Chains A and B, each alone.
Chain A
């Protein structure tokens, strides 16, 4: 039973380039969440998606950042025209349903470490 997959694990971009981060949720999970962790900080919520729908994007920066979770394929977090301040670890999590029941929770992938030169 594969866990949450993220790729690439490491991504280096120059200022002004685009970064695309991919997340494949656990099998059977239809809810995806993206978090960002800056150095020496906790994880910060960015966006919550279900298939083909953005449910909550209250943590997303207003510009340059977008996310999608298409009917087929992984969820994509896209950062356009990256700047040095975008350097961080980006984690994706998935869950099988909304709401806490039993042991259900958000399961995290290993993260993508983005470095902007």
Chain B
């Protein structure tokens, strides 16, 4: 069962523009949401997170938005840079115990010059 969905397998954005990556989830009881970035042949790197009591969290060029009524999560990267080219995974903590993350299938972001 696909409880966390990233429906866009790939996204291409011009350098300097905004990148918007989307994630949908099925269970309104999910408590904590995270975004990870992954380069080829490396492990995922934590980017930013948000708890269910908030609707926005910002860290530098990265902002995560949470729309609980729509069960939708998005990551905004502004401005996009070539080094942002990677696969981005959203993940949820289903149990609220930070012990088991459920990942989406990822979106490959390509930032072009």
Residues of A within 8 A of B102 (CB): 45
Separation of A40 and B10 alpha carbons in the complex (Å):
12
A-B contact count (CB 8 A): 67
Residues of A within 8 A of B25 (CB): none
Given contacts A4-B43, A42-B105, A105-B34, contact A48 B100 (CB under 8 A): yes
A9 to chain B: closest residue by CB: B41
The reply to whether B101 and A45 form a contact with Cβ atoms under 8 Å apart is: yes
Tally chain A residues at the interface, Cβ within 8 Å. 30
Question: Residue B22 at the A interface, CB < 8 A?
Answer: no
| Cβ-defined partner of A110 (8 Å) among B41, B99, B103 | B41
Question: Residue A55 at the B interface, CB < 8 A?
Answer: yes
The reply to whether B43 and A42 form a contact with Cβ atoms under 8 Å apart is: no
Question: Residue B42 at the A interface, CB < 8 A?
Answer: yes
Q: Which of B12-20, B45-53, B60-68, B71-79 contacts A (4 or more CB under 8 A)?
A: B45-53
Given contacts A42-B89, A43-B89, A100-B93, contact A110 B101 (CB under 8 A): no
Question: Residue A109 at the B interface, CB < 8 A?
Answer: yes
Separation of A98 and B6 alpha carbons in the complex (Å):
27
The reply to whether B106 and A42 form a contact with Cβ atoms under 8 Å apart is: yes
Question: Residue A73 at the B interface, CB < 8 A?
Answer: no
Partner-B contacts on A (CB < 8 A): 4, 6, 31, 33, 35, 40-45, 48, 55-56, 58-59, 91, 93, 95, 98-100, 104-111
| CB-defined A-B contacts under 8 Å, sample of 19 | A4-B43, A35-B103, A40-B105, A42-B4, A42-B106, A44-B103, A45-B102, A48-B99, A55-B99, A95-B98, A99-B97, A100-B32, A100-B51, A104-B98, A106-B98, A107-B46, A108-B43, A108-B44, A108-B45
With A4-B43, A43-B103 known, 6 other A-B pairs at CB within 8 A are A42-B103, A43-B44, A45-B100, A100-B51, A100-B98, A105-B34
